[in-house]
Structure 1
Amino acid sequence: MVASRQPAVGQGSQARYERPADLDTVLRRLAEGGWTPLAGGTDFYPARVGRPVRESLLDLSALGALHGIRESDDAGAAGWRIGALSTWSGLARAPLDPALAALQQAAREVGGIQIQNQGTIGGNLCNASPAADGVPPLLALDAQVELASVRGVRRLPLDGFVLGNRRTAIAADELLTAVIVPRRSPRAVSRFVKLGHRRYLVISIAMVAVAADFDQAERVSHCAVAVGACSAAAVRLPAVEHAVLGAPRADLPGILDRLDDASAFAPLAPIDDVRGTAAYRRDAAIELIRRVFAELADERAGAAR
C-alpha cells in the first residue's frame, strides 16, 4: 500500500506532497506539524473517492529502512523485527518461525492479492479498525510497536498502542517504524482463523488468534487467545488462557465446555451491524476458538499416529 505517485490536490488547496529519502527528514516534518504519513493508502484513498486530497502527505515509500523482516538481538527488542512498510504479501512469503504461523495466515486473509501487495503492517495497525486482520495474531504473539520521533524512540506493547476504534497511542509527531515479535520456543505454535460472508475480500464478522506452547509432556505451558471484530479493539481472553494452562494438549477441544461463558468471555463487546448481530459474533468467536483448539490437539494426535 505504498504510494508511488504524487496525488492530485484540489485547486487552491494548501496541501503539500513530499517523498523523503530518509527517516530523519520524515521525523522533522512530523515535528513541524500539519503532515500526514502515507504508506500504501489502501484505506486512505478509498475514503476520499470523488474528492481531492487536501492533506499534506509524506509518502514513505522511499524509506528502505522501514521495509523488510529480520531477526534481531537488539536489547529490549530481541525477536523478529518487521519493518512498518512490510507488505502482507511479503509477510506471507517470509521464512518466519512456525510459531508465527498465525501472522502469516492473517497476511493471506487481508483483502485480495492487490491489497496484500500494497497494504503494510504499519498502516493496518495505525488505522486501528476493530476488524484489522493483523491485530489479533500480533496481540496473541505479545508484539510490541516501535515509535520514533525527533524526541527519540519508544516501544509499546500492542495492547497499549491500539486503544479503540480508530484510536491509537501514537503522538502527532511520531511514526510507527517497526513491529517486534518476541522469539518463541521451538515447540510453540500459533493459528489464525476468521469468519466472513465469503472467503476473501471480506470484513470479518469475528476472528481468533491462538498462540500456545507445550512442555515435553505435551501439556500447555503458555497460551494466548485474542479475538478481533468483537469489540472496539481486539482483546485477549485471560480466563480462557488461564483455564488451559497445564492441560494435556489432547484435552484442548473440551476445555471451553467447562468454563462459565459470562466470565470467560466478558472482555468481548460485539455490536449489531450489517454483518451480524452481537449474539452471533460472540457465538462465532467461541466456536472459532473451539475449532483452533481442536486443530492444535489433532495435529499432535496425527503426529503420534
Structure 2
Amino acid sequence: MGEMSDTGRLILLGAPLGNPADASARLRQVLATADVVAAEDTRRLTRLARDLDVTVEGRIVSYFEGNEERRTPELVEALVGGYVVALVTDGGMPSVSDPGYRLVRGALDAGVPVTSAPGPSAVTTALALSGLPSDRFCFEGFLPRTPSGRRSRLRALATEERTLVLFEAPHRITGALADLAATFGPDRPAALCRELTKTYEEVVRKPLGELAAWAAAQEPRGEITLVVAGAPEIAAERPDDDTLRAAVADREATGMSRRDAITDAATSYGLRRRDVYGVVHR
C-alpha cells in the first residue's frame, strides 16, 4: 500500500478496450501503487493485472452500477482520509457510459483532487475508423431500451448536423438500425464498429438501410459502437407549404405513419420536425 498523504487523490484509469498491449505505462504504475483500486469487474481487473504482469498491492473493491450509490461515500471517506483511489472500468474511460460520475462528483464536492491516466476510448476510436466527418461530433451513449423510447429519441436527433456516436447492445442492434434507417433515411452514411482492438475487430461502413439489412442477416455480437453521419445542412431556401404537405402525403402513400412521414420529410429538407408538423396540421 502506498503512503497516505494529507489529501487523497482520485485517479481515473483509461483501460484497454480489449488488447492489453494498449495499456499505458502510467496505468501500470497506478495499478501497482494505489491504496485502493475500485473496479467495475474485479475478475476482469485481476485478469488485466495478470496480462500486464502487475501486482496490485492496494485493496481491491467492486464498483459497478448496482453498488456505486452505496459504495461512493465509502470511497470518498478514504479519499478524504488521504488515500489514493484508482477507478477502472471494463474498458475505456470511467464515467463515459460507465460507472464513475458519482465518485468524481463526490470527490470534487469533498475538495479532493481528481486526475486521470488517460487511455483508449471506444468513442474516439470508432469515430476515427468510421471514415465519417470527425471535426464535430456528439456522443449519445446507449439509446433507450424500449422501442418506443428509442424511436422518440431518434426523432429528436434526426436533424442533428454533427456526426453521432452511439453504443448499442448486440441483442438490440438490429432493431436500433431499422429504426435509424426509418427515421434518418436509408441513405444516411454510417459505420458499425465491433470488438475494437480485439482479434475479431470489424468495421462495416454502409448506408443505414444496407447496414440494417446486414445486421439482420449477420446478427453481430460483441461490443458495438455505431457512428452515423450528421443530417444535411439546413436548406438555403425553405420549400413552400404545399411542397411540404405533398412530401408528407407521398410518404404516407408508401405506408409510413404520419409521424414518420413528417420526420422523414423534415430530415430531407433540413427542417425541424415541429415546423413541418405545423404546416401539415395547420
Say whether the fold is shared (TM-score over 0.5): no
TM range (shorter): 0.3 to 0.5
Structure with bigger strand share is 1
TM-score, normalised relative to structure 2: 0.35
| Structure exhibiting the larger radius of gyration computed from Cα positions | 2
